[in-house]
Amino acid sequence: MFGTEPNEEKIRESMAVLRKSEKMLETYFLKDTKFINSDEISIADLQAICEFTQFWSAGVDPAEGKPRLAQWMDDCKKELQPHFDAVHKMVYMARDKGIFKGKLQNQSSLLLCVLV
């Protein structure tokens, strides 16, 4: 993506951080509520959903195999429509065209851009 080879060790570390973040969100912050520690959407949900949706541009769904995380993401999207889709237009385009798909799925530097 930037003309340099990715640092594979940094990518592995970043993937571990992503998995830890997913688990923490599901098991702690979304344990008993529809949104992050609340039954109403808040700025915390806005910030978190934007972080997780960045992975879509690379064809990666952070909620895959995580039903509680998937439900929360759906709830956020529904609550924020039509603005959610408008704001994520470029993310959808990158995902649909596969612009970054091979890069992240082959563990390249895009992951570092999203997490670091």
Query: pTM of the full predicted structure?
Result: 0.74
What is the domain-level CATH number for residue 96? 1.20.1050
Summarize pLDDT for 85-107 with one digit per residue, the tens: 888 888 888 777 776 655 544 44
Residue 108 lies in a domain: yes
Q: What does residue 54 show for φ and ψ, rounded to 5 degrees?
A: -60, -30
Summarize pLDDT for 18-67 with one digit per residue, the tens: 889 899 999 999 999 999 999 999 999 999 998 888 877 766 788 989 99
Containing structural domain, residue 17? 8-115
DSSP code at position 116: -
Cα gap 26→115, rounded to integer Å: 18
Number of structural domains (the chain) is 1
Residue 3 lies in a domain: no
Residue 1 lies in a domain: no
Cα gap 29→93, rounded to integer Å: 30
Residue 2 lies in a domain: no
Largest CA distance in the chain: 45
Residue 49 lies in a domain: yes
Cα gap 116→94, rounded to integer Å: 20
Q: Collapse the DSSP code of 8 into the 3-class scheme (helix H, G, I; strand E, B; otherwise coil) and give the result.
A: helix
